């Protein structure tokens, strides 16, 4: 499982104004323990990712983001995060494709630096 790897960190970000409801949902689904970082509050997704970066020390180029809103994809990609639009949820095929692209991007980045 991903969470069992100390090399992989997971974050959950939501711009909802229903903060308590979102946190209760994570608890009800038993998902709270899956995430190393949880940023749930109204505002910009950029604020969430800046906080992830501050807390984790992880470079934006080493982050992978999935979202169902195009505006969030555009906003976060400006930080250098690799973003993927998931209009109908994340499937195993979509995840595998995203991980392949991420790996290719990392190889290119390492080659150039």
Span 64-91, pLDDT tens digits: 999 999 999 999 999 999 999 998 889 9
Do 96 and 66 belong to one domain?
yes
Do 45 and 82 belong to one domain?
no
Total of domains in the chain = 2
pLDDT band at 2 (very low <50, low <70, confident <90, very high): low
Percent of the chain with pLDDT over 90: 78
Q: Cα separation of 49 and 81, whole Å? A: 9
Q: How far is CA 67 from CA 12, 70, 87, 89, in A?
A: 11, 8, 8, 8
Q: How far is CA 51 from CA 48, 55, 56, 75, in A?
A: 5, 6, 8, 15
Q: How far is CA 68 from CA 14, 37, 72, 107, 113, in A?
A: 11, 20, 8, 27, 32
Do 42 and 82 belong to one domain?
no
Do 1 and 48 belong to one domain?
yes
Do 74 and 106 belong to one domain?
yes
The structure's pTM equals 0.84
- Average pLDDT of the chain is 91
Do 23 and 39 belong to one domain?
yes
Q: Provide the 10 A C-beta neighbour count for residue 21.
A: 11
Domain assignment of residue 13, given as a range: 1-58
Do 40 and 75 belong to one domain?
no
Q: Which of 58, 77, 92 is the last residue of a domain?
A: 58
């Amino acid at each position: 499982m991903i969470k069992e790897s100390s090399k992989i960190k997971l974050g959950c970000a939501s711009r909802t104004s229903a903060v308590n409801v979102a946190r209760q949902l994570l608890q009800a689904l038993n998902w709270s323990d899956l995430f190393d970082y949880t940023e749930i509050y109204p505002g910009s997704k950029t604020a969430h990712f800046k906080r992830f970066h501050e807390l984790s020390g992880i470079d934006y180029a080493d982050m992978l983001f999935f979202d169902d809103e195009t505006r969030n994809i555009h906003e976060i990609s400006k930080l250098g995060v690799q973003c993927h639009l998931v209009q109908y949820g994340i499937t195993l095929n979509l995840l595998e494709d995203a991980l392949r692209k991420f790996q290719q991007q990392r190889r290119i980045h390492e080659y150039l630096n």
